Structures are given as C-alpha cells and as structure tokens.
Amino acid sequence: MAFEIPLLSDDTLLLRPHVSADLDAVYARCVDPLSVQWTTIPLDYTPEMAQQYLEAICVPQENAVSWALDVGGSYAGTIDLRFEGAASGSLGFVTSPEYRGRGLMSRAVRLAVGHAFEDLDWEVVTWKAHAGNTGSYKTVWRCGFPQPVAVPYLLNHRGKMVEGWISSLARNDPRSPSVSWAKAEAELTVRRPSAV
C-alpha cells in the first residue's frame, strides 16, 4: 500500500512532503560529518544522489512515509515511518546540522508517532540506531521510548554488521520519559548482556 504524506504541525514546526527546493539543504546534511558517522549515507554522496533521493520520497511510497521538517519555510531535517507488518513499523530521522540541539526532532517524533498510532492504527513503533548514538536516543527518550537494548550485529553499516540499540514504544505506553536524562544516559554506558 502507498502511504499518503499528511501535513502535521506543532506550533512552529511543520511536517510536510519534501520539495525540490530542499535539495541543497538535504545534500548539506548528507555530507555533514555526524550524519556520515551515524547513518549509512554513502561516503561518495553527490548532489545527483540527493536529487534521486528527493524524487523517491516526495511522493507517496509503498510501505513508508517521509516528511521534511519545516521551520519558518526552511528545511530542518527528515523523519520517516516504515511499515513492517503486523500493525507495526520503524522510525528513522536525521536533523540538519544548524537545527540540532533545539529539540525539534523530538517534536517531530511526537507528531510522527501520534500519526502512526492514531491515524495508521499501528500498535508498535520501533527505533534503532548505532550503539553509542546518545543524541538519537535522547530524541526518542523525550517521547517515552524506554531504555534501548544493545544487540550485537544488529545494523549493516556500509557492508559491516555492527552493534545497535533498539527500543520500542507501544500504542498505550506513556509518551514522556520514565526516568531523568541523567539516569538514562548513565545506563547507556552499561553493557547489556545479549546472545550472539
């Protein structure tokens, strides 16, 4: 099924379809060092690749919906939901460098999760990230995602399987933090036992 891209808003933040005018900003955040470190963006990323990416996500997609974060008419990042069957899906996002540290992506996560549960009728939304990406976890922690579990070989990072963090939020779970950030951050440094 194809997922429509509804407009979602929260005061000064708008989630909207991507447009061609986002190209330069999308390319800039794709070659940003932190984006390169924590995502699977190709190391040889080009403006042409950014154009192809935009063309693929600016229209309704099969089994996914992608939004641009818009602040005052400017592109500030991308967030998407990917349907994975059984009334569930995963959440992915990346913030443009100049908009980091403002809590914008947590607001976007809250809007996207609300859409998943209330409009798409999902039961569960799952977040995954490379182990060590505390900035990404802090984003979803604000929205109620519980402490992540560390799983060896969870993610494919440019042809190598690496350890990842995973956390899931169910429809009826509280959408606010259950512990302070200081406690959550401290617990992230403790290696969780896992089977290989």
Mean pLDDT (the chain, rounded) = 94
Res 135 pLDDT > 50: yes
Residue 96 falls inside a structural domain: yes
pLDDT > 90 in the chain, percent: 93
Q: Identify the CATH number of the domain in which residue 17 sits.
A: 3.40.630.30
pLDDT at 45: 95
pLDDT > 70 in the chain, percent: 96
The answer to whether the CB of 112 falls within 8 A of the CB of 129 is no
Q: What is the pLDDT of residues 4-56, one digit of tens each?
A: 999 999 989 999 999 999 999 999 999 999 999 999 899 999 999 999 999 99
Q: What is the pLDDT of residues 107-126, one digit of tens each?
A: 999 999 999 999 999 999 99
Res 194 pLDDT > 60: no
Residue 61 falls inside a structural domain: yes
Residue 103 falls inside a structural domain: yes
Residue 196 falls inside a structural domain: no
Res 196 pLDDT > 70: no
Residue 143 falls inside a structural domain: yes
Residue 194 falls inside a structural domain: no
Domain that holds residue 35: 2-188
**Does this model's pTM top 0.95?**
no
Res 191 pLDDT > 70: no
**pLDDT grade for 195, boundaries at 50, 70 and 90:** very low
Identify the three-state secondary structure at position 62.
strand
**CB neighbours of 2 closer than 8 A, spacing ≥ 6?**
60, 61, 62
Q: How many domains does the chain have?
A: 1
The bridge status of strand 2-3 relative to strand 61-62 is antiparallel
Residue 195 falls inside a structural domain: no
